[in-house]
Amino acid sequence: MRRYELLQSIAPLLSDEFVICNLGFPSQELYAIRDHDHHFYMLGSMGLSSSIGLGLSMEIDSTVISIDGDGSVLMNLGTLSTIALEDQKNFILFIVDNGSYGSTGDQPTHTAKGTSLAAIAKAAGIKSSVEVPGEEAAAKLSECLKTPGPHVIVAKVEPGSPAMTPIPLTSLAIRDRFREAVKRAQA
């Protein structure tokens, strides 16, 4: 299973949640699988999906899911301590761990050499931190959606992705429709 199939497996679980999606192929794949105005597709700011999602979860009542990657979390490990400290019940960090920098040519990351992001998250103080095979990630996410967070799910998958095309939305369009969706949910 690659990230694309993993995202396909979790897409049916998404409804009213707000999703912050990591830049590059993850956003392009999620857009192709299920576009929604509750999705914020990052076009830059690598490493900050979890930080953006956590900040949003502190301001709204809806559940917020940050879909992040192993390479991105590795460059912002302090985020895990901040997630633990803020203890947002409505926040889920869903890490697609394919052991590679998938959007830049599949160079291996430290998780391909033994680093465990779930173990780091647990040590940072996030009690609900698990690593699961990609095939079991949808069931785990479904469970986490029904219980108070914060949750960290590390889904292990193979590197690689199908041919993707850029998202045909401008950065301003992505921002504006997401902001309107947040406002509607909070009204």
Contact residues toward Mg ion (CB under 5 A) are 69-71, 98, 100, 102
73 or 182: CB nearest Mg ion: 73
**Closest distance to Mg ion from the beta carbon of 185 (Å):** 30
**Closest distance to Mg ion from the beta carbon of 70 (Å):** 4
Tokens of 57: 């979860």
Residue 6 phi/psi, 5° resolution? -65, -45
The residue nearest Mg ion at its CB is 69
Cβ partners under 8 Å of residue 113, min gap 6: none
74 or 138: CB nearest Mg ion: 74
42 or 182: CB nearest Mg ion: 42
Token match 């990351």: residue?
Answer: 109
Give CA–CA dist 20/4, Å, rounded.
Answer: 16
102 or 149: CB nearest Mg ion: 102
**Closest distance to Mg ion from the beta carbon of 114 (Å):** 15
Strands 91-97 and 151-156: parallel
Token match 């931190």: residue?
Answer: 129
**Closest distance to Mg ion from the beta carbon of 37 (Å):** 26
**Closest distance to Mg ion from the beta carbon of 136 (Å):** 18
47 or 102: CB nearest Mg ion: 102
47 or 69: CB nearest Mg ion: 69
**What DSSP line would sit under 60-88, residue for residue?**
-SS-EEEEEEHHHHHTTTHHHHHHHHH--
**Closest distance to Mg ion from the beta carbon of 142 (Å):** 23
Using the CB atoms, write b or e for 127-144: b if 16+ within 10 Å.
Answer: ebbbbbebeebbebbeeb
